[in-house]
Structure 1
Amino acid sequence: MTSTKQVALVTGATSGIGKAAAIALAAAGFEVIGTGRSTAHATPPAGVTFLDLDVTSDESVAAAVKQVIDRFGQIDVLVNNAGVGSTGAAEEFSITQTQDIFDINVYGVIRMTKAVLPHMRARRHGRIINVSSLSGFVPSPFMSVYVSTKHAVEGYAQSLDHEVREYGVRVLLVEPGPINTPFAGHSVEADTPMPLYAAGRRNYDELLAKNLSSGDEPAVVAKVIVAAATDRNPKLRRTAGTTARTINAVYRLAPPRAFDRVIRRFNRMPS
């Protein structure tokens, strides 16, 4: 079967940005398949089909991509949104825990990308949209592990885009700032906390909660994802949300020392 609509596969689509993206893509005319680790008790939005998928499993990824292609005949857009946050100083994370976070945020993106690329190359058509973060290009104290995963995704996506562009495939980045989602509640806390970082960690947790509660709604990011999926001449990277746009402008224009002061002030760090 070949769909008469373009087909979009969205990972991590049962809540937050992923759910908003699935809804927005369906409204834009896509056939949308949204995934989550366990979707049995989740009600899919109108125009969205839910599918179980674990991005840390090679077998699960291969099976899900095959199922979508067998049922709909094609995958035109992949939105790599599934991920997990982390809070705590870098020194407080064990290597095992760090590897687990990378397995979701980085290797999950790579698994999904490798699974759809042969299909997209064969059709000489496709877009892979990676939901990165403001933290994909700026530092964020007490989110070091999470930030490093987003920097890795940015480097992977930018490099891969050059490799596959001649085959009709684009690899793009969407970089949200603070978004009003349960991100903090779903973040992994460091497994070896240290007393010397306790005050900084508390300060960061308070700041994160404040920024998220006053952040943009997920629909703001979803609108940017739809633009990345549909624009005739797509931009490699797009910020999403007021804070991301502001920090991006400062990052591009401010001298390095001035930007360093901005980061410390923004994160309420000692001068």
Structure 2
Amino acid sequence: MANDGERNEAQTGSVALVTGASRGVGRGVALGLLSAGFRVYGTGRSIDQADLPREVRRVRCDHLNDEDTAHVFEVIRSECRALDLVVNCAWGGYEKMVEGGAFTWTVPFWEQPMHRWSGMMDAGVRAAYVCSAHAARMMTPRHRGLIVNISFWAAQRHLGNTIYGIAKAATDKMTSDMAVELKPFDIPVIALYPGLVRTEAVLAAAERGAFDLSTSESPEFIGRVINALFRDPNLMSRTGRVLVAAAAAKEFGVLDIDGSSPPVLTLADI
């Protein structure tokens, strides 16, 4: 693992890949890392239409397609020859939450439409697995890199949808086991839990009274936290663990874009 001086020196121009960067948490992470000096690559099916600065290198990718994913890493290898950070945000689990006029997210598992399994397990967990495998092939020869998997509290308690819980628990376990295999190469793997993030969908729902945004976080906040983690000289001591973004932010003195310090939510708060 690079020491603190090496990390600070290498910060500007370090190469980051953010999957699912077209919107939501992924877009916010891309913006946060770009402002921190990373050279950012963003992927997504609609990345070409995303509201992102021109400095973000957009590579259209459907992460359900392994050839698309492989192409992303070919582009990065061709243009940069190295990759320092991967943030796996790609996720298809929030699509088609209302079907036939009915909100199907919370129906029992035996009534769930099976596309939701594909959206969460294939476009989410499997996509993160495939991207991490490609990233590891680039990172291990250099003994340098960081893999962050965006997860959530649903791994630890039922939050209205069984498939959701399965997907997040799988993400946390995947993180833990990848960390074991990458430890000899000094590459940490972290599962990161956001709080209530002001994504486009959450803001729209808040207008209908579905959310209280008083404890919410901007999407860019997660990118700021990941930047702080990347620069932590003791990050290997955290490898394989689940970290709560707001707790890490308080430890590193990271503030949100409005200067606020989002509260640290616990399992009891969710």
Query: Would you say same fold, with TM above 0.5?
Result: yes
Question: Conserved in 2, the CA contact under 8 Å of 1:44 and 1:50?
Answer: no
Structure 1 counterpart of 2:53: 45
The alpha carbon displacement at 1:219 in A equals 2.5
Structure 1 counterpart of 2:40: 32
The alpha carbon displacement at 1:246 in A equals 2.9
1:125-164 aligned at under 5 Å gives the runs 125-140=144-159, 142-164=160-182
1:12 is aligned with what amino acid?
Answer: G
Structure 2 counterpart of 1:99: 118
1:102 is aligned with what amino acid?
Answer: M
2:134 is aligned with what amino acid?
Answer: A
1:178 is aligned with what amino acid?
Answer: L
Taking a change above 3 Å as real, the CA distance of residues 4 and 181 of structure 1, as seen in their structure-2 partners, is: closer
SS at match of 1:111: helix
Question: Conserved in 1, the CA contact under 8 Å of 2:215 and 2:262?
Answer: no
- The alignment yields a C-alpha RMSD, in angstroms, of 2.8
Structure 2 counterpart of 1:14: 22
Structure 2 counterpart of 1:82: 90
2:198 is aligned with what amino acid?
Answer: N
The alpha carbon displacement at 1:228 in A equals 2.4
SS at match of 1:245: coil
Q: Distance between the aligned counterparts of 1:40 and 1:223, measured in 2?
A: 24
1:182-261 aligned at under 5 Å gives the runs 182-183=200-201, 209-211=210-212, 215-234=216-235, 235=238, 236-241=241-246, 245-248=264-267
1:230 is aligned with what amino acid?
Answer: R
Taking a change above 3 Å as real, the CA distance of residues 83 and 64 of structure 1, as seen in their structure-2 partners, is: same
TM-score by length of 2: 0.75
The alpha carbon displacement at 1:243 in A equals 8.3
The alpha carbon displacement at 1:46 in A equals 5.3
1:118 is aligned with what amino acid?
Answer: R
SS at match of 1:169: coil
The alpha carbon displacement at 1:212 in A equals 6.0
SS at match of 1:98: helix
Q: Distance between the aligned counterparts of 2:227 and 2:194, measured in 1?
A: 14
Identity value in percent: 26
Q: Distance between the aligned counterparts of 2:262 and 2:38, measured in 1?
A: 29
Aligned residues: 229
Q: Distance between the aligned counterparts of 2:156 and 2:149, measured in 1?
A: 14
TM-score by length of 1: 0.75
Question: Conserved in 2, the CA contact under 8 Å of 1:180 and 1:214?
Answer: no
Question: Conserved in 2, the CA contact under 8 Å of 1:21 and 1:226?
Answer: no
Structure 1 residue ranges without an equivalent (≥5)? 187-205, 249-261, 267-271
Taking a change above 3 Å as real, the CA distance of residues 63 and 212 of structure 1, as seen in their structure-2 partners, is: farther
Q: Distance between the aligned counterparts of 2:87 and 2:195, measured in 1?
A: 18
Question: Conserved in 1, the CA contact under 8 Å of 2:21 and 2:42?
Answer: yes
Runs of 4+ in 1 over 6 A off after TM superposition: none
Question: Conserved in 2, the CA contact under 8 Å of 1:134 and 1:177?
Answer: no
Which residue among 167, 177, 181 is the counterpart of 2:195? Answer: 177
Structure 2 residue ranges without an equivalent (≥5)? 1-10, 95-104, 247-260
Greater shift after overlay, 215-224 or 173-182?
215-224
1:29 is aligned with what amino acid?
Answer: G
